[in-house]
Amino acid sequence: MIPPSHIRTPFQARFGAAPTVIVRAPGRVNLIGEHTDYNDGFVLPIAIDRAITIALRPRPDRRLIVHALDYDQTAEFDLDRLEKGEPGWAEYVKGVAWALQREGFGLSGWEGVLLGDIPRGAGLSSSAAVELASARAFAAVSSLPWDPARMARLAQKAENEWVGVRCGIMDQMASAVARAGHALFLDCRSLAYEHIPLPPETAIVVLDTATRRGLVDSAYNERRRQCETAARTLGVPALRDVDEATLTRRAAALDEVTLRRARHVVSENARVLQAIAAMRRGDAAALGSLLNLSHASLQADFEVSSPALDQIVALARRDPACFGARMTGAGFGGCAVALVEAARAGRFARQVIRAYRRQTGLEAQAYLCAASDGASLVAA
């Protein structure tokens, strides 16, 4: 967690005065419900205790000046003349300005510094965090009502239509509305949500494989298309509307690959509901088994895992402190998530990193994540 003092000082150095507002928005890790959001299904992410923080003050004009400390880059733009630029963090800020203005909000300019501690490219949604932190900043300086779910939708629109990435709504909703100590049970069709307490005495450990894959976007879009084809063939608006019995009965209507894609989504939605029931009983063992089943389905049916993810998941499960583990996020590289006994989480993380290094020669990172609150005003 970045203490506000770490961002006040660089703001002061750059702009010669104290910031009037500090906002933050967290990254997320998904416990279960993978590749279900764009099928109108269920997801169960937590917001992590790593975030994007922005310190800022309003400007009297309609300009934005934002300096990203991590990149040592400054972006400047005019709210009356938004133009697409080089891909990068600034496009998320600009995209949010574009989406808010299109929604009819009158925005004021501001200047600020932005700082983050979310590992980038790891699948922990640093981009959704930049979007929600920017939305929170605009809301603060422009006196907009803060409706987190509406802001999440607008941030998703920014990512889909301004940045050009076809993501679902999970990351933005997690960054906007999550609650500390809880997972977010979200219905991605209605956006109804509920905060579900994590099982007692458990910890969530994110294991970063230190592998990244460049083709994530094209593979992601291909999976989306396959899911849309399955839904169309089965005559429903989205795979959310299919249950396991119906899919079995109608299996012959789909080709082999499309059937496996659909089977993942349909079974994953059912697993999210089972996971909620397990959490309500405080049953960490049952929740862990569902994580394991989710991984198997993502690996065999949805085919978005990778050898590195499979390896780190297997190493995690070998540890007696682990209730279950699976890949998390879009896949093909990035992170796995493990549910472990809280008292043994530190030792678990060290053990997995050591064994993974021995097997692969790669240096994994482990993050013990506290479930945190969604986007907020830290200081005004």
User: What is the chain's Cα-based Rg?
Assistant: 21
Does 130 interact with ligand GLA (rule: CB under 6 A)? no
Q: Of 122, 322, 330, 371, which lies in the binding site for ligand GLA, with binding defined by CB under 6 A?
A: 330
Tokens 């200081």 belong to which residue? 379
Structure tokens at 349: 């993380």
Nearer to ligand GLA by Cβ, of 220 and 348: the residue is 220
Does 38 interact with ligand GLA (rule: CB under 6 A)? yes
Structure tokens at 250: 């109608």
Q: Tell the smallest beta-carbon distance from residue 171 to ligand GLA (Å).
A: 5
Q: How far apart are CA 265 and CA 53, in angstroms?
A: 34
CA neighbor of 52 nearest in space, from 169, 147, 154, 155 = 155
Using CB under 6 A as the binding criterion, the count of chain residues that bind ligand GLA stands at 10
Does 35 interact with ligand GLA (rule: CB under 6 A)? yes
Does 131 interact with ligand GLA (rule: CB under 6 A)? no
Q: Of 19, 26, 34, 178, which lies in the binding site for ligand GLA, with binding defined by CB under 6 A?
A: 34
Q: Tell the smallest beta-carbon distance from residue 295 to ligand GLA (Å).
A: 13
Name 248's Cβ contacts closer than 8 Å, sequence gap at least 6: none
Residues in 250-269 at the binding interface with ligand GLA, rule: CB under 6 A: none
Residues in 146-205 at the binding interface with ligand GLA, rule: CB under 6 A: 167-168, 170-171
Nearer to ligand GLA by Cβ, of 152 and 321: the residue is 152
Q: Tell the smallest beta-carbon distance from residue 264 to ligand GLA (Å).
A: 11
Strands (E), 274-354: 322-327, 335-341
Structure tokens at 336: 């796995």
Q: Which stretch binds ligand GLA (CB under 6 A): 6-14, 34-42, 279-287, 348-356?
A: 34-42
Active-site pick, 171, 208, 301, 319 = 171
Q: Tell the smallest beta-carbon distance from residue 147 to ligand GLA (Å).
A: 20
**What is the DSSP pairing of strand 63-68 with strand 202-208?**
unpaired
Q: Is 49 a catalytic residue?
A: no
**What is the DSSP pairing of strand 110-116 with strand 63-68?**
parallel
Indicate the angle between helix axes 126-142 and 170-177, nearest 10 degrees: 50
Nearer to ligand GLA by Cβ, of 275 and 321: the residue is 275
Does 116 interact with ligand GLA (rule: CB under 6 A)? no
Name 137's Cβ contacts closer than 8 Å, sequence gap at least 6: 21, 23, 54, 56, 110, 112
Q: Which stretch binds ligand GLA (CB under 6 A): 19-27, 32-40, 140-148, 265-273?
A: 32-40
Q: Tell the smallest beta-carbon distance from residue 32 to ligand GLA (Å).
A: 10
Does 92 interact with ligand GLA (rule: CB under 6 A)? no
Nearer to ligand GLA by Cβ, of 107 and 273: the residue is 273
Nearer to ligand GLA by Cβ, of 44 and 144: the residue is 44
Q: Tell the smallest beta-carbon distance from residue 167 to ligand GLA (Å).
A: 3
Nearer to ligand GLA by Cβ, of 34 and 111: the residue is 34
Q: Tell the smallest beta-carbon distance from residue 118 to ligand GLA (Å).
A: 13
Nearer to ligand GLA by Cβ, of 95 and 168: the residue is 168
Beta strands across the sheet bearing 335-341: 322-327, 335-341, 202-208, 365-369
Does 37 interact with ligand GLA (rule: CB under 6 A)? yes
Q: What is the DSSP string of 116-182?
A: E-SPTTSSS-HHHHHHHHHHHHHHHHHT----HHHHHHHHHHIIIIII-----SHHHHHHHH--TTE
**How far apart, in Å, are the Cα atoms of 102 and each of 96, 111, 211?**
10, 21, 38
- Conformation bin of residue 120: beta by default, left when phi > 0, alpha when psi is -120 to 50: beta
Catalytic residues: 171
**Positions in the binding site for ligand GLA (CB under 6 A):** 34-35, 37-38, 167-168, 170-171, 329-330
